[in-house]
Amino acid sequence: MGQGATQPSTNWHLKENAKDHHTSKFSSKELIVRRGQAFLVTFNGTEQPEQNLIFIAETGPKPSKLAKTQATFGISSTVSKESWSAVLQSTSSNSVSISISSPPNAVVGRYKLSVQSTSSGSSSPASLGTFVLLFNPWSSGDDVFMSNKAECEEYVLEEFGIIFAGNKNHINSFGWNFGQFQGDIINICLSMLDRSLSYRQDPATDVSHRNDPKYLGRVLSAMVNANDDQGVLLGNWSGNYEGGKSPSSWTGSGEILQNWKKSGFKPVRYGQCWVFAAVLTTVLRCLGIPTRTITNFSSAHDADGNLRVDEFYDDSGNHLNRAADSIWNFHVWNESWFSRSDLGPSYSGWQILDATPQEESGGIYQCGPASRNAIKEGDVDLDYDCPFVFAEVNADCMYWNYDPATGKKTLIFSKSTDIGQFISTKAVGRDNRVDVTNDYKYEEGSRKERDIFKKARKKLGLEDKFDPTAPTPQEIDQKPDISGKFKVDGSLEVGKDLSLILVLANLQSDAKTVHINMTAWSTLYTRRPVNEIWKDSISLTLSPKEEKHFPIKIPYIEYHQQLTTDNMIQVTALCRVEGGIQVLVQRDITLDNPAIDIQVLGEAKVNKEVDVEVIFTNPIDMEVMDCVLRVEGNDLLRGILEIDVPPLQASEKSSTKFKLIPFETGPKHLLVNFSCDRFADIKTFKKINVTLRKDSAVFFVEIIPTSSYSKLLLSVLAAFSRLFFCFTDLTPTHISWQPSINAGTHHTDRYANTELTVRRGEAFTITLYFNRPQQTGESLAFVTEIGPYPSESHHTKAVFNLSEVGASGWSAAQGPSESGYTNFTISSPANAVIGRYNLILQVTSGNKIFSRFLGQFVLLFNPWCPGDDVYMANENERQEYVLNENGIIFVGNAKYIEARGWYYGQFQDHLLNTCLTMLDLSLYYRQDPAIDVSRRGDPKYVGRVISSMINGNDNDNGVLLGKWQGSFHSHENPSRWDGSVVILQKWRQDNYKPVQYGQCWVFAGVMCTVLRCLGIPTRLVSNFNSAHDVDRNLSIDKYYDSSGKSLNIGKDSTWDYHVWNESWFIRSDLGTSFNGWQVLDATPQEQSKGLFQCGPASVVAIKEGDVDLDYDTLFVYTEVNADCNRWIVYSDGTKKRVYCDTEIIGRFISTKAVGSNSRVDITYNYKYPEGSSEERRVYKKALAKILGSNITEGHTESPDERSSETLRNPGISGKFKLAEPPVFGKDVTLILTLNNLSSDHKTVKVDMSASTILYTRRAVAEILKATTSVDLGSKQGKHIRVKIPYSYYGKYLTTDKRIQVTALCEVMHMHGAKLLVEKTIILEDTNIIIKIPRRVVVNKAVTLEISYANPLPEPVDRCVLLVTLMNQQVKIHLARLAPRERSKIYFEFTPRRTGPLQLQVDFSCDKFSHVKGFVTIAVAPA
């Protein structure tokens, strides 16, 4: 390249380099690569390159070697890790290929690459062109290195995101299109850097600092907002968005960034916090810095930096805007991942960046990077902006009453646990929410959290600083006389009336007069009041310990015009207590928009049209106009599609159809935003899986051999064919999974999913069709992979050749072959990990190895395989405990056991996928995905994980929330459920938010479904008189007051019944004697190793008292074996024990019989006969393992027994008997029989109490209280008749329909000799009678007669019959029923399969609910 040489032409090898550098998604035609990694360049016009070429790479306006914005380097033999280098790859007559490497700390940006030949005498280098260099999270030397590949995919390459919003009580979410690889976003991002204040002040220095992610992140946090510079977005929180777009209307960053560029880099109007955060995510991911959005609920804006947020309310309860401080319902910022060499390695990792312009930092509106570790540890003196971020998640709250006339303020209350709740981000690889609160702070209210708070105050000099605005210690310590809260009564939807209940409770023993001023305001999400919607004032008197409910209704017509696009309302009640301090009750409410449904009408394939339908129904009683639908989606649409929708009348449904032509494969997201004059920016999104088109061209050649030329032509074609095979890779063109044969062999033919589902330890057959015959020298092998990080060492990956057992036990054999296809038999080991596998064919041809993805299959546990841990030898038991979809749950109490039907439905549509997803949502998976998946071959591990995932108590996206008291409001009463399928489907449809609500039998029913679905033999077990021993002392303490009323004090309890699961598998960790049935319990009672999970506990270990064995054996042992103490609590606080019963706990332990609906008593499996020497021996053994070996006979002390006495033997006995069967709707009559056991005359005072209770025996309402006395002669017995009228108990009865009656009998003149008599009564429901024909035949309509009744002495309205058959439900509205009236209906259905079907009926009305009946129907073949 001498003087006058032509400009060299450059081949940047765009495709190869982009693939190697993870930059294939960029739309740019310019080379884009990542630092610290080599890229290939080929150019012409050089000779002897190894001797005479010098390369120059430079960036910025004033390239300088000193500033590391220019590098000069020649060709070397090896790559340098510290500097730029070039290695010769190949040469030809007039071209050279060079591999160029940049150091991992190189400046990022657009580079000019030049080459100079030193041998040609040239004085000027020749330009090869430009390329863009980005950060490299895949390079271990880069500050942004992220070792987890799945996280790199999510936080750098993923273009779709989910942003969480709402408030702490009601979290919602919406999709966002980051689009960092679309159009010219990369150029816009680089322009952003060149428009910053830092660049304008000193361009050369600014560019030289662009190798540092913390510098770049800080600059961009300033540039995304427009408060100081030519930034991207102008913030607006006024509620008036004239001259721009409402922040809620945006659905992606691309439109914003493009508008900024098109306008000549004028700020786009308008943004709010989530918009700033989303745009910053786009820019940082584009430049290669791993970044995610974070939502902090109840986020503090501490303007004065005192780690305290002050809010003010006037006498009417109105929220005043008089302080610079504020608490936002939510605030969204960013976390970016990089090392902090300026602080030390312990502060590396996630760093907070916030582009929302709240407070200045260094003279401009920028925030961060603040180390998340520094925030958690209270190191607020570290760079950058740690005090501000610390306050956002940790500040204390002060709520003041302020008088504008006098300027006087009075502290209402303070709280240290309100700020920084449910800190959330999107999960890696999934559209779920992950809670990261524990990464920002220690548990609220804990000693560690308070110590960190004090540490932060000390570092900021606040501990010794006088603050005249701070409350006094006396103000902080004051205690209110009343408490209050707002409860939601109904749905929270725009278009519906808002119904609330103000609940006030008197905490004192004297009456309180309260004056209440209530207001409701529409607010922004920053909680700034906008419009007053409603106000009211009331005065009331609360009796001692009384609770009152005050209903509030705000009609839609009153609030809809006042609502902002945030759909938020703040309701407050300022309560002035005469003679006491004020109480502020407040609640922030987020209303949900109406739903939009997106339907993809066909398969989405590349370059092929597919129709999409968007459906919206107008939910309000008025016309909506100005309807606009906006749609966008990367790789689905080019740009944004905007469609005008005609006006919609009240309740009218709109259906809008449009076409997509996807242009890339893989999972894509379609985002939809619907607006009209009544509803603004209703958002939803749909995940669409785009696949390749399978178009093929087939050519037919017909040859008619009529001469020697024809024969010659045939031989030429044959030779050509052989040559074609040599140059064409052996490729499978089609796979047949042999679904019918495999499903029959593996007992999986009832699963509704379409993919192959097989069981481990047993072979399955596939057929492969190839593009050509296999040639000599070609060999085949298979690869199976499962989980995010398949590994042979973790047994989540196996590579195995034909006719060879692999190291992990997988094997494959080639079966019979025909022209064009080959059969293969694949076997998995009996201990293989269960779940969804990828199956890959590996073809070896000479030195060449290539792989072909064949598809996916699901592998389950195998009770039919003797080598499997879950092997069950009895076929009838396998049919019952794995394949039976119908179950029976036993409920009631030890004296009255009822059977209730339950539909497991483990084979129904989507259930298997839901169960596998459940495993991937667990905390175990989130903590270490690779290890978690590797342990899924162990049924005890899977069972334990599932037991934690069925309940939603650990913030783990669990299936069900439990609730045992109070109203269920708009959610489901646990008694309503009849099966698992509808629960699991709802969980899935609601994006894995816990379903509300469940109780023990619901948790157990759902868990049985999941475990049977995965192949683990499982059954339900009901334990009557089940102990909940919180303090683990093998003693249950129950307390009564001196009148015999049951007291809800003490943590121990005895439930009338409790339902758990037993699963069958071996216990290699304990030894063979502990194999067999294992107890698993998903009901969230007590934590085990930090989570609400229980088991597996060996039933054998429980029976033998081996309570020290894993897992939770002690807790289960006490459920069936604890001793029971009854105590009287006197007014002075002293307690005296009435009696101890060692035999009452753990009675009639029951499960469904194999092959029938009968009850089987399995109590003997859990313990030796009550009172026997063996039972007492085991009890002492268990107690010794807990407390030590020095245990005396009859030890049943409670922890505080030393300060109590045991009452004297009263010398009398007593018991309650029912005079007639207790029937709901009728008066209950009992007879208390008292017997004098001695020859002495006795006068007995009897205090009787009756309360409605839950099945957990928790008292709900006292319905009867009476006192009498009786004289008993020598050995005499007398009867006391007790009547509880329906009018007493009717309105206080729960769906459990239980009443507990107690009689505390005191023998006079015997100094405290007392007898406690108690009885739990279950009121019998009216029978539902289901009559079926003698013969029911498949595919033939059958008519059932269902009769139901009103047992009450009053009429009932709003009668509904819910009929459930498998997963199908029919809701039938019935006519009003007169008192004691019985009626019937006829129900027709057509069974579609043979075998047993369970039909369930649920009857509810306005006076009672969930009266149940079921019948099992034997469906015969036609």
Using CA atoms, how far apart are residues 1016 and 919, in angstroms rounded to an integer? 15
Using CA atoms, how far apart are residues 979 and 1006, in angstroms rounded to an integer? 8
The answer to whether 1343 and 1386 are in contact (CB under 8 A) is yes
pLDDT at 704: 38
Given pLDDT bands bounded at 50, 70 and 90, which one contains residue 709? very low
Using CA atoms, how far apart are residues 1398 and 1418, in angstroms rounded to an integer? 9
What is the torsion angle, in degrees rounded to the nearest 10, for the CA atoms of residue 263, residue 266, residue 270 and residue 276? 110
DSSP assignment of 351-405 equals EEE--S-SS-BTTBS----EEHHHHHHT-TTSTTTHHHHHHHHH-EEEEEEE-TT
Tokens of 1407: 């006076």
How far is residue 882 from each of residues 80, 865, 1165, 1368, measured CA to CA in Å? 61, 13, 21, 22
How far is residue 116 from each of residues 46, 113, 129, 1094, measured CA to CA in Å? 10, 10, 13, 72
pLDDT tops 90 at residue 1210 = no
Given pLDDT bands bounded at 50, 70 and 90, which one contains residue 1145? very high
pLDDT in tens, 1078-1092: 999 999 999 999 899
Given pLDDT bands bounded at 50, 70 and 90, which one contains residue 1206? low
Q: What is the mean pLDDT of residues 232-257?
A: 93
pLDDT in tens, 611-631: 999 999 999 988 999 999 999
pLDDT at 403: 82
Residue count of the chain, please give it: 1422
* Cis amide leading into 866 (omega within 30): no
Q: What is the mean pLDDT of residues 471-484?
A: 80
Given pLDDT bands bounded at 50, 70 and 90, which one contains residue 467? low
Burial class, 627, CB count within 10 angstroms (exposed 0-12 / middle 13-18 / buried 19+): buried
Using CA atoms, how far apart are residues 314 and 297, in angstroms rounded to an integer? 25
pLDDT tops 80 at residue 450 = yes
Using CA atoms, how far apart are residues 217 and 224, in angstroms rounded to an integer? 11
pLDDT tops 70 at residue 123 = no
Residue in this structure with the two tokens 């004032």, named with its chain if needed: 537
Using CA atoms, how far apart are residues 587 and 509, in angstroms rounded to an integer? 27
Taking alpha carbons only, the member of 110, 116, 143 closest to residue 43 is: 116
pLDDT tops 70 at residue 632 = yes
pLDDT tops 80 at residue 853 = yes
Tokens of 919: 């495993």
The mean pLDDT value of the chain amounts to: 89
DSSP assignment of 593-654 equals PPPEEEEEES--BTTS-EEEEEEEE--SSS-B-SEEEEEE-TTT-SS-EEEEE--B-TT-EE
Residue in this structure with the two tokens 């709010």, named with its chain if needed: 272
Angle at 1047 between CA 1046 and CA 1048, to 5 degrees: 125
Written as one letter, the residue type at 597 is D
Given pLDDT bands bounded at 50, 70 and 90, which one contains residue 1043? confident
Given pLDDT bands bounded at 50, 70 and 90, which one contains residue 1181? very high
Given pLDDT bands bounded at 50, 70 and 90, which one contains residue 465? low
134 DSSP β-pair partners: 34
Using CA atoms, how far apart are residues 44 and 55, in angstroms rounded to an integer? 14
Sign, CA dihedral 1091-1095-1096-1097, equals: positive
Taking alpha carbons only, the member of 378, 346, 371 closest to residue 452 is: 378
What is the CB neighbour count within 10 angstroms for residue 857? 20
Q: Choose the most confident range, by mean pLDDT, from 984-988, 1005-1009, 1191-1195.
A: 1005-1009
Q: Choose the most confident range, by mean pLDDT, from 807-821, 969-983, 1053-1067.
A: 1053-1067
pLDDT at 2: 45
Its pTM surpasses 0.75: no
Q: What is the mean pLDDT of residues 263-292?
A: 96
For the chain, give the longest Cα–Cα distance.
134
pLDDT in tens, 71-91: 999 999 888 888 999 999 888
Q: Residue 1325 carries which DSSP code?
A: P
pLDDT tops 60 at residue 1298 = yes
Phi, psi of 221 (to 5 degrees): -65, -30
Given pLDDT bands bounded at 50, 70 and 90, which one contains residue 1190? very low
Q: Catalytic amino acids?
A: 273, 331, 354
Residue in this structure with the two tokens 């969930």, named with its chain if needed: 1410
Tokens of 548: 């009152």
pLDDT at 1200: 45
pLDDT in tens, 105-121: 999 999 999 998 876 55
pLDDT tops 90 at residue 1037 = no
pLDDT tops 50 at residue 710 = no
pLDDT at 744: 92
Using CA atoms, how far apart are residues 792 and 722, in angstroms rounded to an integer? 38
pLDDT at 121: 55
Q: Which helix (H) or strand (E) holds 219?
A: helix 213-223
Using CA atoms, how far apart are residues 438 and 22, in angstroms rounded to an integer? 32
Q: In what order do the strands lie in the sheet with 482-488?
A: 482-488, 498-506, 547-554
- Residues in contact with 742: Cβ distance below 8 Å, sequence separation at least 6, in sequence order: 748, 756, 758, 764, 765
Q: Which residue has the higher pLDDT, 710 or 1123?
A: 1123
pLDDT at 723: 44
- Residues in contact with 807: Cβ distance below 8 Å, sequence separation at least 6, in sequence order: 792, 798
Using CA atoms, how far apart are residues 275 and 253, in angstroms rounded to an integer? 8
Q: Choose the most confident range, by mean pLDDT, from 461-465, 483-487, 814-818.
A: 483-487
Residue in this structure with the two tokens 């019979």, named with its chain if needed: 816
Given pLDDT bands bounded at 50, 70 and 90, which one contains residue 122? low
Give the whole-number percent of the chain exceeding pLDDT 70: 93
